[in-house]
Amino acid sequence: MFKMMRHTAIIATLATVTGGALFAQTEVKIGYALAPDSHYGVAAQKWEEVVTAETDGKFTFRHFPSSGLGGEREVVEGLQLGTVEATIVSTGTLSNFVPATGVTDIPFLFRSLDHARRVLDGPIGQDILGEFDSAGLVALAWGEQGFRHITNNRNAIQTPEDIAGMKLRTMENPVHLDAFNAAGAAPGPMAWPEVISSLQQGTIDGQENPLSVIVSVKLDEVQKYLTLSGHVYSPAMLLVSKPFWEGLSDEDKAAFETGATEAVAAMRAYVDDVEQSGVETLKERGMEVNELTEDQKAAFRASIESAYEGYYETYGKELIDQIAATE
Ligand code: PAF
């Protein structure tokens, strides 16, 4: 009996000394959808590098790239359950966890990478990150993928009529689905791990993703046409699991936060680069590429007017206008 009490006392003392982080988990399983040499891989490696340096190697990152832990929705669910510690993820499924995120998925809302970065790094973006707590998640920073473009095997796209009835894979994202439905396509949500085989088998005609993804995944091997539609900015997010976070000391939390900030810088630098060089690379690999003119883009924007009515209802016109007006 006495022995047991002494044992308990020692544990309690140690827990106090270590700020309650006695049993903190030190293996960080980090899952992401793309390869180690993608913008996700580069950011995950930077995150690890900074955390390792700041904590004297206390944490070991175990990487699961290329959807090694399943689709993005499954990985986020893993974070909620505490079976996965960290992820870098698109906003594809995030509005299913935190509805407010959906406002950042609205097509033709962001004008440029700089515009998007200013909004997401500013009060609007930071307020959305704060909402993840109530979903059992800790959102440390906004990353990004770039502007999404359409690839397909059916025909080149210049007008909304060119996507009429086109079987387009979208992310599991109601905001994107509404837009493509309004534009007259035949969109279908699909988890990323199924996309390449569905394109190969011809069960879908096309998909949409930023150059960062199209280049790093080599979508040119399964898609003929690339239309630079830039129809929507594609944010990403660096998330950690709440049970994991709550076991960290304040110093460890600071290391993860600094790491996330530097990871985002690396990710944005990658995206800046591929936005410059990606089109040439894809042309060299044999894709037929066309870029929408400003007038053609305006026609696509007009084709999704009815979806915009829904966005105003869901997210509030004031917020959407405020984002658009951000300098
Ligand atoms: O299209 C998607 O689902 C996402 O953009 C991807 C490729 C999984 C990266 O997050």
Dist CA 140 CA 254 (whole Å) = 11
Q: Parse the chain into domains and list their residue ranges.
A: 24-325
Residue to substitute in 212, 234, 239, 271 for testing ligand 1 pocket (most ligand atoms within 8 angstroms of CB) = 234
- At residue 107, φ and ψ (nearest 5 deg) are -60, 150
What token pair was written down for 301? 């924007």
Using DSSP, state whether 59 is helix, strand or coil: coil
- 272: DSSP letter: H
DSSP string, 79-118: HHHTS--EEEEESTTGGGTSGGGGGGG-TT---SHHHHHH
- At 118-139, the pLDDT tens digits run 999 999 999 999 999 999 999 9
On whether the CB atoms of residues 228 and 208 are closer than 8 A, the answer is: no
What token pair was written down for 71? 């689709």
Q: What is the pLDDT of residue 21?
A: 46
| Ligand 1 centroid, distance to 158 Cα (angstroms) | 24
Q: What is the pLDDT of residue 25?
A: 83
Burial (CB count within 10 angstroms: exposed 0-12, middle 13-18, buried 19+), residue 163: buried
User: For ligand 1, which residues put their CB under 6 angstroms from it?
Assistant: 33-34, 72, 90, 92, 145, 171, 192, 209, 213, 234
Residue to substitute in 145, 180, 214 for testing ligand 1 pocket (most ligand atoms within 8 angstroms of CB) = 145
Closest ligand 1 atom to residue 236 Cα is 10
Q: What is the pLDDT of residue 303?
A: 98
> Helix 305-315 to helix 174-182 angle, to the nearest 10 degrees?
150
Atom 10 in ligand 1: residue holding the nearest Cα:
90
Query: What's the chain's length in residues?
Result: 327
- 203: DSSP letter: S
Q: Are strands 288-291 and 225-241 parallel, antiparallel or unpaired?
A: parallel
CA dihedral 287, 168, 93, 179 (to 10 degrees): 110
Instruction: Tell me which CATH code domain 24-325 carries.
Output: 3.40.190.170
- At 311-322, the pLDDT tens digits run 999 999 999 999
| Ligand 1 centroid, distance to 209 Cα (angstroms) | 7
Atom 4 in ligand 1: residue holding the nearest Cα:
90
Closest ligand 1 atom to residue 210 Cα is 5
| Ligand 1 centroid, distance to 8 Cα (angstroms) | 48
What token pair was written down for 164? 């009429």
Q: What is the pLDDT of residue 17?
A: 37
Q: What is the pLDDT of residue 3?
A: 42
Q: What is the pLDDT of residue 12?
A: 36
Q: What is the pLDDT of residue 24?
A: 65
128: enclosing H helix or E strand: helix 123-130
Handedness of CA 187, 193, 196, 201 (dihedral sign): negative
Dist CA 48 CA 27 (whole Å) = 11
Dist CA 272 CA 25 (whole Å) = 35
Dist CA 103 CA 119 (whole Å) = 11
* Residue 195 neighbours by CB distance under 10 Å: 18
On whether the CB atoms of residues 88 and 237 are closer than 8 A, the answer is: yes
Query: CB-based contacts of 205: which residues, under 8 Å, 6+ apart?
Result: 152, 153, 154, 166, 167, 168
Residue with tokens 């973006």: 125
Q: How many CA atoms lie within 13 A of 171 on its CB side?
A: 25
Nearest to 72 by CA among 99, 34, 117: 34
Q: What is the pLDDT of residue 16?
A: 34
Residue to substitute in 209, 231, 234 for testing ligand 1 pocket (most ligand atoms within 8 angstroms of CB) = 209
Q: What is the pLDDT of residue 23?
A: 56
pLDDT < 50 positions in the chain: 1-22
User: pTM of the full predicted structure?
Assistant: 0.92
Q: Are strands 137-152 and 167-170 parallel, antiparallel or unpaired?
A: unpaired
Q: What is the pLDDT of residue 11?
A: 37
